[in-house]
């Protein structure tokens, strides 16, 4: 980081797409660095951002193993279902469904979604549609998959059609916002997009240092606040202005962690959103809420509140390489109809994957 700050001049090695230049202390520097875009079409033309969103989703290599091991605890809790269903017979249905309900609750599915799933199974069993334990298990997996795919089907980034596309990353402290932003920058850069980061976490001095490291690591440009405790909204607004003037494709906006119960901090997010939309109509194109996958059901009130205040367009579920708690994800998607767009499976630059509902269901139900 120190070397990045002390770099006297911008360095661009065109051809190998390696970029290194110092972070901009705004007001932004006036030099524009040209970037050889690998895209055939340019932003503003139909399809640029649609294609970018699709490529990011397709190319985020899925490491099924990591997700599978991350959900071992959830899978353990749900394993009891297999035993229950092995000896199921029609006369036993109510008892088995009570135990199944218990297993879903223990696995953080939450009461609302658990009742919904169990009652639909009960109807299908007594209606004669499900005749064996394995049919019940398949129906259970299908109903979870249906919830995830029907209510959260827009898993590709929706980046609009104006340049720059703006993505805001929000969430509580320590969830993985800055890390996810860095990984996302890496994915977008790999597709040839020109990325500008905005250090909108102005509460902690160390926060912009952390983002600068990610900027250096991914070869992205960055706008940071001139002084401590600067207004986040003005940092973001400056960054988007620079993004617009200097032809950046995507501006990735980091924000401070905040408890969803802190009214004034939540209001600050509204100010950030407004400031950005004043510079580019329609921006931010995405407001991604980062949820720590190990949190459990507390992620539901968090998601609800962030969504009420700023309108969340997608979720990034982090730390699935740890001891993640799966059921609550289904509750969030079901209640808020917000898709999970990415999952974090580690701290490295490559550890961001596109969310795949089918793999998720296979990882939580053995």
Ligand X SMILES: Nc1nc2c(ncn2[C@@H]2O[C@H](COP(=O)(O)OP(=O)(O)O)[C@@H](O)[C@H]2O)c(=O)[nH]1
Q: In b/e form, how buried is each residue of 322-336, taking b as 16+ CB within 10 angstroms?
A: bebbbbbbbbbbbbb
Q: Compare residues 161 and 203 and give the one whose CB is closer to ligand X.
A: 203
**Considering only residues 257-296, where is the footprint of ligand X by CB under 6 A?**
257, 290
Q: Compare residues 22 and 346 and give the one whose CB is closer to ligand X.
A: 346
Distance (Å, rounded) from C-alpha 352 to C-alpha 348?
8
Residue 265: CB minimum distance to ligand X, A: 13
CB proximity list for 363: less than 8 A, separation 6 or greater: 64, 67, 68, 70, 71, 75, 326
Q: Does 346 bind ligand X (CB under 6 A)?
A: yes
CB proximity list for 364: less than 8 A, separation 6 or greater: 71, 74, 75, 78, 107, 144, 326, 327
Say what angle helices 263-279 and 232-245 make with each other, to 10 degrees. 20
List of residues contacting Mg ion (CB under 5 A): 177-178
Q: How far is CA 330 from CA 136, 165, 297, 354, in A?
A: 19, 29, 10, 16
Segment contacting ligand X (CB under 6 A): 100-108, 172-180, 300-308, 330-338?
172-180
Distance (Å, rounded) from C-alpha 49 to C-alpha 162?
9
Q: Does 356 bind ligand X (CB under 6 A)?
A: no
Q: Compare residues 169 and 330 and give the one whose CB is closer to Mg ion.
A: 169
First to last CA, the chain: 44
Residue 306: CB minimum distance to ligand X, A: 13
Residue 9: CB minimum distance to ligand X, A: 30
Q: Reduce the DSSP state of residue 347 to 3 states and report it.
A: coil
Q: Does 119 bind ligand X (CB under 6 A)?
A: no
Q: Does 212 bind ligand X (CB under 6 A)?
A: no
Residue 123: CB minimum distance to Mg ion, A: 46
Q: Compare residues 101 and 216 and give the one whose CB is closer to Mg ion.
A: 216
Residue 201: CB minimum distance to Mg ion, A: 5
Instruction: Name the residue with tokens 């969103």.
Output: 53
x/- track of binding to ligand X for residues 299-328 (CB under 6 A): -------------------xx-xx------
Residue 53: CB minimum distance to Mg ion, A: 24
Distance (Å, rounded) from C-alpha 135 to C-alpha 85?
9
Residue 227: CB minimum distance to ligand X, A: 21
Q: Does 247 bind ligand X (CB under 6 A)?
A: no
Q: Does 179 bind ligand X (CB under 6 A)?
A: yes
Its sign, for the CA torsion 97, 101, 104, 106, is negative
Q: Where are the beta strands (DSSP E) in 184-225?
A: 195-200, 221-224
Instruction: Name the residue with tokens 């970037």.
Output: 35
Q: Compare residues 296 and 322 and give the one whose CB is closer to ligand X.
A: 322
Residue 296 interacts with, from ligand X, Mg ion, none (CB under 5-8 Å by kind): none
Q: Compare residues 178 and 233 and give the one whose CB is closer to ligand X.
A: 178
H/E stretch holding 164 = none
DSSP letter assigned to residue 202? -
Q: Does 175 bind ligand X (CB under 6 A)?
A: yes
Which of 150, 181, 158 lies closest to 330 in space, CA to CA?
150
Q: Does 21 bind ligand X (CB under 6 A)?
A: no
Residue 57 interacts with, from ligand X, Mg ion, none (CB under 5-8 Å by kind): none
User: How many residues sit in the footprint of ligand X (CB under 6 A)?
Assistant: 19
Q: Does 177 bind ligand X (CB under 6 A)?
A: yes
Distance (Å, rounded) from C-alpha 8 to C-alpha 157?
36
Residue 295: CB minimum distance to ligand X, A: 12
Q: Compare residues 155 and 178 and give the one whose CB is closer to Mg ion.
A: 178
Q: Compare residues 63 and 101 and give the one whose CB is closer to ligand X.
A: 63
Q: Compare residues 49 and 214 and give the one whose CB is closer to ligand X.
A: 214
* Binding residues vs ligand X (CB under 6 A): 171, 173-179, 257, 290, 318-319, 321-322, 344-347, 351
């Amino acid at each position: 980081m120190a070397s990045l700050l002390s770099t006297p001049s911008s360095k661009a090695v065109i051809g190998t797409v390696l970029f290194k230049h110092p972070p901009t202390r705004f007001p932004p520097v006036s030099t524009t660095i040209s970037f050889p875009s690998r895209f055939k079409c340019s932003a503003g033309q139909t399809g640029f951002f649609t294609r970018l969103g699709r490529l990011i989703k397709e190319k985020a290599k899925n490491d099924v193993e990591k997700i599978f091991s991350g959900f071992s605890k959830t899978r353990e809790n749900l394993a009891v279902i297999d035993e229950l269903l092995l000896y199921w017979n029609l006369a036993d249905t109510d008892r088995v469904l009570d135990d199944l309900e218990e297993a879903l609750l223990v696995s953080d599915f939450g009461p609302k979604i658990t009742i919904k799933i169990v009652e639909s199974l009960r109807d299908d069993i007594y209606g004669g549609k499900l005749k064996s334990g394995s049919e019940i298990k398949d129906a259970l997996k299908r109903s979870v998959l249906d919830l995830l795919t029907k209510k959260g089907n827009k898993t590709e980034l929706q980046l609009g059609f104006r340049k720059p596309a703006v993505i805001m990353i929000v969430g509580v402290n320590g969830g993985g916002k800055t890390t996810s932003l860095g990984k996302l920058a890496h994915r977008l850069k790999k597709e040839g997009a020109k990325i500008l980061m905005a250090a909108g976490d102005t509460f902690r001095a160390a926060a912009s240092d952390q983002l600068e490291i990610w900027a250096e690591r991914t070869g992205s440009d960055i706008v940071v606040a001139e002084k401590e405790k600067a207004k986040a909204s003005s940092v973001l607004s400056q960054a988007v202005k620079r993004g617009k003037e200097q032809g950046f494709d995507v501006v990735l906006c980091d924000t401070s962690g905040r408890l969803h119960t802190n009214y004034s901090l939540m209001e600050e997010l509204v100010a950030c959103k407004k400031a950005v939309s004043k510079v580019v109509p329609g921006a931010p194109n995405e407001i991604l809420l980062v949820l720590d996958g190990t949190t459990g059901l507390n992620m539901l009130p968090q998601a609800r509140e962030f969504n009420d205040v700023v309108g969340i367009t997608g979720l990034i579920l982090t730390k699935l390489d740890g001891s993640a708690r799966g059921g609550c994800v289904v509750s969030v998607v079901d209640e808020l109809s917000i898709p999970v767009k990415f999952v974090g499976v580690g701290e490295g630059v490559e550890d961001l994957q596109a969310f795949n509902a089918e793999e998720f269901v296979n990882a939580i139900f053995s």
